[in-house]
Amino acid sequence: MKHRHVVKEKALLVVFTHKAAGSAGFCAPIEELAHLASSAGADIAGSVVHEWKGCDPAFFITQGRREALKMQVLQEGADFVIFDADLTPAQQRNLEDFLEMKVIDRTALILDIFAQRARSREGKLQIELAQLDYLMPRLKGRGLQMSRLGGGIGTRGPGETQLEVDRRKVKQRMQRIGRELDHVETTRMVQRQNRIRQGVQCATLVGYTNAGKSTLLNLLAGSCVKAENRLFSTLDPTIRKVSLGDGGAILLSDTVGFIRGLPHQLVAAFKATLEEVREAHLLLHVIDCTSPCAEEQAASVDRVLEEIGVSDTETIFVLNKIDAVVDQGIVRQLSRRFEPAAAVSARTGQGIDKLRSLLDRWLSQRVRHMYFRLPASEKSAIDCIMKSGAVFYSACEEGDVLIEVRIDQNIAHNFRRFAVPAFRLGDN
Ligand SMILES: Nc1nc2c(ncn2[C@@H]2O[C@H](COP(=O)(O)OP(=O)(O)OP(=O)(O)O)[C@@H](O)[C@H]2O)c(=O)[nH]1
Ligand SMILES: [Mg+2]
């Protein structure tokens, strides 16, 4: 078998200890940027940490730092530079001219990872739209330059395609993608409305990327969604049924992970995917207890949730990876901070019973155990009730239909005119 030898690009990382655009004094910024860079397929040539002292409008960093950076790039043999910040198109261009190599910012890096991960047609369209939106203001007078700087990380589109560099074509393409995505959004909306009409309770996993959402879904639903130690391994929403005690069940969906400074282009382009989060009855917010930045990561997730208009959905916190936590005091501290919470290991299954019982309790508050007696002529009402919940008993009696069912409280309310006190089997 022939093996293709892939030469990895070597990145030099530039991070800032204080507030730079897009990097709000986060703890462990180097580790996170290095994890992002290696998730994009780069090798790390080296890194430099700057104390943030304000921005040079033309170059982002001062002349002294630029010159030192140029030296370091040569010494470490880097192929390109990644800034842990948002660069304006002009700053990026000026830095590239000065360093004579490709320079990308945090947004371009995250967009690149998404482009590599996209599998479904919808995901590919979403990421291409976000990339083109990012590229548009950077195209001015750059047609040739793009090719001079070569391809690789920061210039790759979804699949194997190279991004378009002609402004007029880009505009047309963005419009076409927008129309196609509107269509996808409508289809998804109809599917969601069907689920909601059927009274199914829907929960969504949210959390920082790599927190263990997919691993938890697999454990709860007995499924095999891809989970791995790479950032943004899940892009497309996946929905699985999770059975709980007493015949109850919920639908649980896994979706794209969040990160601090998630590019706004992505949030806009992933509108249809994030609708899944907006319409959920319950959020399971997964937090990686082994991260020294767990609380800041949770706050970043909250910020993205606010940005997409989700701030009052009921939430259960899942404090994950307790098998790998060295100091259990941290788990206790996080449990006090985040409530209601279950401390679990999605890897070993430890603590999962507590999570299941929290879900059970939540579900039993959302649903009602009901007895209905309806005339057989009420076909659509019967149909809706039968499809909407867990049916324990149904029978025909003297032209009426009797149904014992556990059903969403809103649907129970809609059909309350048919509700009867509990009947025993065989009663009339
Ligand atoms: N030790 C330990 N590792 C875990 C646990 N849960 C998940 N992991 C590991 O954490 C990494 C990320 O897990 P995923 O389930 O892919 O995380 P995710 O939140 O779906 O990540 P994205 O889809 O990339 O946002 C994988 O290497 C998992 O094996 C856990 O309870 N304990
Ligand atoms: Mg995942």
Ligand 1 atom nearest residue 234's Cα: 23
Report how far residue 57's alpha carbon sits from residue 62's, in angstroms, rounded to the nearest whole number: 9
Q: What is the CA radius of gyration of the chain?
A: 26
Q: Does domain 200-350 have CATH number 1.10.287.130?
A: no
What pLDDT does residue 21 have?
44
Task: Compute how many other C-beta atoms are within 10 angstroms of the C-beta atom of residue 273.
Answer: 22
CATH 3.40.50.11060 maps onto the chain at 1-192
Q: How far is the CA of 393 from the centre of ligand 2 (A)?
A: 39
What pLDDT does residue 428 have?
45
What pLDDT does residue 165 have?
64
Under a CB-based contact definition with an 8 Å cutoff, are residues 216 and 293 in contact? no
Q: How far is the CA of 354 from the centre of ligand 2 (A)?
A: 22
Ligand 1 atom nearest residue 227's Cα: 16
Task: Compute how many other C-beta atoms are within 10 angstroms of the C-beta atom of residue 54.
Answer: 9
Report how far residue 126's alpha carbon sits from residue 120's, in angstroms, rounded to the nearest whole number: 10
What pLDDT does residue 48 have?
94
Q: How far is the CA of 428 from the centre of ligand 2 (A)?
A: 52
pTM: 0.84
CATH 3.40.50.300 maps onto the chain at 200-350
Phi-psi region of 247 (alpha: psi -120 to 50; beta: other; left: phi over 0): left
- Cβ–ligand 1 contact at 291 (below 6 Å): no
Q: 3-state DSSP: the chain helix, strand, coil percent, rounded to 5? A: 45, 20, 35
Chunk the chain into consecutive blocks of 10 residues (it has 428) and report each block's average pLDDT, rounded to whole numbers.
Answer: 67 83 63 93 94 86 94 95 94 94 94 88 89 84 48 69 69 91 83 70 93 95 80 82 84 90 84 83 96 93 91 95 95 95 97 95 88 94 84 89 88 92 63
Which token pair is 82?
């990644």
Q: How far is the CA of 183 from the centre of ligand 2 (A)?
A: 25
Number of H helices, E strands in the chain: 15, 13
Residues near 333 by Cβ (< 8 Å), separated by ≥ 6?
none
What pLDDT does residue 147 have?
43
Task: Specify the fold of 1-192.
Answer: Rossmann fold (3.40.50)
- Residue for token digits 């590599």? 116
